[in-house]
Structure 1
Amino acid sequence: MLNAKQNGMMAKGALFAATIIWGSSFFILKNALGDTPISFILALRFFIAFILLSIVFFQSYKHMTVSLFYKGVITGVILALAYIVQTLGLNLTTPGKNAFITASYCVMVPFMFWIVSKVKPNKFNVIAAVFCFAGIGLVSLKGDLSFGKGDALTLASGFLFAMYIVAVARYGRGNSIALFTILQFLTAGIVCAISFFIFEKFPSNMSAKSLISVVYLGIFATGGALLMQNYGQKYTNPSSASIILSFEAVFGITFSIIFYGERIVPQTTMGFILIFVAVIISETKLSFLLRHHTYIPDKTRNIDWLIDNPMTHRGVFDAEAPENSLKAFEKAVEKGYNIELDVQLTADGEIVVFHDTGLKRMCGKRRKISSLSIDNIKTYNLKNTAEKIPTLKEVLELVNGRVGLVIELKTIIKHKALCEKLAEVMQGYEGKFSVHSFSIHAMRWVGRNRPEWIHGIVSMNFGKIGLVGLFGMWLTNIPFFDQIKPDYIFYHCGHLDSTLIRQSKLRGMKVLCWTVKTGEQLAVASVIADNYLCEGSIIEYADKRKKSL
């Protein structure tokens, strides 16, 4: 028997498989339309799915009622109309456009549900609608602002799919989902068959390729994918399931580019992105950005040393003792200050204490730390002094537990290599230390592999520095708190008024801030933050303030 974690992994795999299959169906159906009537294809597709589900869920027929039959027929008619209109649109546009414009139904559902339930759409639904229709405009509008017929039909199918979703939500409750779905497929098959006999002619030269396509659509893209979706959603939270399923449009355009030869221009690409963002906003309400609000830190972990003692930024540095140098660290130790320092990997896998990625500012050379061996690095002096770039091992030997070390991991790509090397270097060190980073990946590694280390996350309000949009919001709100399990947040001293900080403090999270350089910054930080990283002479005022408390 599978445990909960294995069920979760299998469920997500099933959802991805269903999404990939649905994404592939657009170009497969497009190819089949070359020699096969639309309603004929859809009738076969639904009848095949009906037979498949009837075999799998034969026992569900005993739950048949007149009410369920009536509801299944109504919903099946809407489903048939949605597919007919969508396929008519597909016949007149590209598979990629058809996939993305159809996805607009996700945005329409809340507004349609408002009509039948009187539940008003929320702000996320409104924002999603704006994004969605802006995207549709970029994808579909021509130079004269006219709307392509195929795109218009596809948008109409999105409206019908939204009606279908609302009908399922309203009629599906309290009934056998399997039987409800079987009735929908049977009804949709009959409606499509009637449409075929009235409006179309029997294909005289249906190719084997088209027949295989129809069988694939019936077995895999309708019956099979639906089974996988039902299984996947049973063991996956709705937010995660919505995100996975929204990738149907992405796979649709990907398959269309690879197998159908669809060409994408920049305007269309931007439209696709806006539609995809709209679907994500509408389906998840960006809840995946706010997971950390439920995280409560372990208050039994002792981090008093990190809170009570002043922190100095890269040591007590001046003209004779450059930042992140052994001399600057020795001066900090003499004053009893905790030391915040930066570490990164050399080309040969050694950890050195250095902030910048390159040597230009501190050594006057246009070289990258990551491209140099430790022997090369030791040939350079810091800021025209005799001081060299130290290794972390040298710093540990110097400090030897006399003050606490606050280690920031400087990494973008090689986070695992840096973390593994850090674990090796810190093994056996008996002094107090903590580890933090901007890198969510690095801190997730620490949370999973060295949970005993005191560790935190460095962040800021990225919107205030111009990094806007979902990516900036994602970084600002720090996802994966539940996996990282941080002991503290290390936040920009000028951004302490953020919602994240207020909510985190309410949940008992310790807040540290960087980097205090003025009396004004210290005044704000001392009210909101539990401790603050100081640079220059302000450290002495911070020390006096702490001692007076």
Structure 2
Amino acid sequence: MKKESVPVRNSLLLLLTATIWGVAFVAQSVSMDYIGGFTFNAVRNIIGAIALLPVIWGLGKTRSASEQTPSDRKTLITGGICCGILLCLASNFQQFGIKYTTVGKAGFITACYIIIVPVIGIFLKKKCSPFIWIAVILSLCGLYLLCLTPGEGFAIGKGELLVLICAVLFSLHILVIDHFSPLVDGVKMSCIQFLVCGILSGLPALLFESPDLAGILAAKVPILYAGVMSCGVAYTLQIVGQKGMNPTVASLILSLESCISVLAGWLILGQNLSGREIFGCVLMFGAIILAQLPQKNPAA
């Protein structure tokens, strides 16, 4: 009974993560009117790390410090640094790729990590049932209907290439989290990854963008949402939610970010959904449900 409740709880945490990320797409776009991409990613990630310090302090009061060995600390720092480097690369490739392509194409290509994760997983000996592969194909069809308009060409240009690299990096990020999350404290690892990502994004920001306080303050609302909610809350929920989850199933749930961003545009900004887009959403939700169905899995 308890064993079955864990995947359900984790799935809900990942769904909440996708929801926060979907809504945060608006903040990510608006911020570029005031500050550069590296500056945005640097500030939002530093805020994300700071936002987690009270949580770590609160959890630390309820746990014994002697429980953590030097080996555990080394694993935690290694995991945090690896996740931080991949997060930095992926988020910056995405941020600049969006400048050179349409939002629809960027959303579709980014969410292609749902097919990249199981493909990479094959080489890491992570098995997937036929149900999950069917769910992946359904999701890709849904994303195509949702993100790309009929008759729109799909030539690979500079923007598409940058976002495709971003999708590969996010796939690696999911698999690295899958490796480290069962071994370490998820909140602490999340804090370390934001600090690493913020510092690494800050270096090119200082070299190429000349960030100023006025621009940062002008973008304070999207930065705070992206920092506290998208980074501090959502990426931590991802690390906690992925514990014990099949990384392909996790990537399918997280891919709902694209679907939720369209729904958020409809509900918050009054942007209407076409029948094609509604059908795309239905296919994606169907894929997630299919991936969650109990399956015979004799060889785990």
Q: In the TM superposition, what whole-angstrom CA distance separates every residue of 1:107-152 from its partner, at most 9, and x where no partner exists?
A: 321111222x234544345444544555666645865542464444
Give the TM-score normalised by structure 2. Answer: 0.73
Q: In the TM superposition, what whole-angstrom CA distance separates every residue of 1:8-34 from its partner, at most 9, and x where no partner exists?
A: 999887665444322110011101111
The question of whether the paired residues in 1 share the 8 Å contact of 2:178 and 2:247 is answered with: no
Q: In the TM superposition, what whole-angstrom CA distance separates every residue of 1:239-273 from its partner, at most 9, and x where no partner exists?
A: 99887655332221122345557676666666666
- Residue aligning to 2:291: 285
Unaligned runs of 5+ in 1: 1-5, 292-549
Q: How far is 1:54 from its partner? A: 2.6
When structure 1 is superposed on structure 2, of 6-15 and 206-215 the one drifting more is: 6-15
Q: How far is 1:83 from its partner? A: 0.9
Q: Does 1:171 align with 2:180?
A: yes
- Residue aligning to 2:42: 43
- Residue aligning to 2:209: 200
Q: How far is 1:197 from its partner? A: 2.2
Query: C-alpha separation between the residues in 2 aligned to 1:148 and 1:228?
Result: 34
Which structure carries more relative contact order (alpha carbon 8 Å, separation 6+)? 2
Query: C-alpha separation between the residues in 2 aligned to 1:247 and 1:221?
Result: 15
Give the TM-score normalised by structure 1. Answer: 0.43
- Residue aligning to 1:219: 228
1:333-344 equivalence runs, <5 A: none
Q: Does 1:89 align with 2:97?
A: yes
Q: Which amino acid aligns with 1:255?
A: A
Q: Which amino acid aligns with 1:55?
A: P
Q: Which amino acid aligns with 1:90?
A: I
Q: Which amino acid aligns with 1:193?
A: G
The question of whether the paired residues in 1 share the 8 Å contact of 2:47 and 2:228 is answered with: yes
- Residue aligning to 2:125: 118
The question of whether the paired residues in 2 share the 8 Å contact of 1:103 and 1:279 is answered with: no
Unaligned runs of 5+ in 2: none
Distance 1:285 1:30, change over 3 A: same
- Residue aligning to 2:81: 73
Give the % identical residues. Answer: 26
Query: C-alpha separation between the residues in 1 aligned to 2:52 and 2:35?
Result: 25
The question of whether the paired residues in 1 share the 8 Å contact of 2:22 and 2:261 is answered with: yes
Greater strand fraction, Structure 1 or Structure 2: 1
Q: Report SS of the residue matched to 1:161.
A: helix
1:279-318 equivalence runs, <5 A: 280=288, 285=291, 287=293
Q: Which amino acid aligns with 2:114?
A: C
Greater helix fraction, Structure 1 or Structure 2: 2
Aligned residues: 284
The question of whether the paired residues in 1 share the 8 Å contact of 2:39 and 2:201 is answered with: yes
The question of whether the paired residues in 1 share the 8 Å contact of 2:253 and 2:288 is answered with: no
Q: In the TM superposition, what whole-angstrom CA distance separates every residue of 1:132-179 from its partner, at most 9, and x where no partner exists?
A: 555666645865542464444333322111111111222334223232
Q: Which amino acid aligns with 2:19?
A: I
Distance 1:231 1:202, change over 3 A: closer
Distance 1:19 1:172, change over 3 A: closer
Q: Report SS of the residue matched to 2:35.
A: coil
- Residue aligning to 1:33: 32
Which residue, out of 183, 188, 194, partners 1:185? 194
1:139-178 equivalence runs, <5 A: 139-140=147-148, 143-147=152-156, 149-178=158-187
The question of whether the paired residues in 2 share the 8 Å contact of 1:26 and 1:95 is answered with: no
The question of whether the paired residues in 2 share the 8 Å contact of 1:48 and 1:218 is answered with: yes
Q: How far is 1:94 from its partner? A: 5.2
The question of whether the paired residues in 2 share the 8 Å contact of 1:26 and 1:98 is answered with: no
The question of whether the paired residues in 2 share the 8 Å contact of 1:109 and 1:166 is answered with: yes
Query: C-alpha separation between the residues in 2 aligned to 1:173 and 1:250?
Result: 29
Distance 1:207 1:195, change over 3 A: closer
Distance 1:53 1:15, change over 3 A: same
Distance 1:122 1:244, change over 3 A: closer
1:79-478 equivalence runs, <5 A: 79-93=87-101, 95=103, 98-115=106-123, 117-131=124-138, 139-140=147-148, 143-147=152-156, 149-203=158-212, 205-206=214-215, 208-228=217-237, 245-259=254-268, 276=284, 280=288, 285=291, 287=293
The question of whether the paired residues in 1 share the 8 Å contact of 2:14 and 2:242 is answered with: yes
Distance 1:231 1:98, change over 3 A: same
Distance 1:182 1:144, change over 3 A: closer
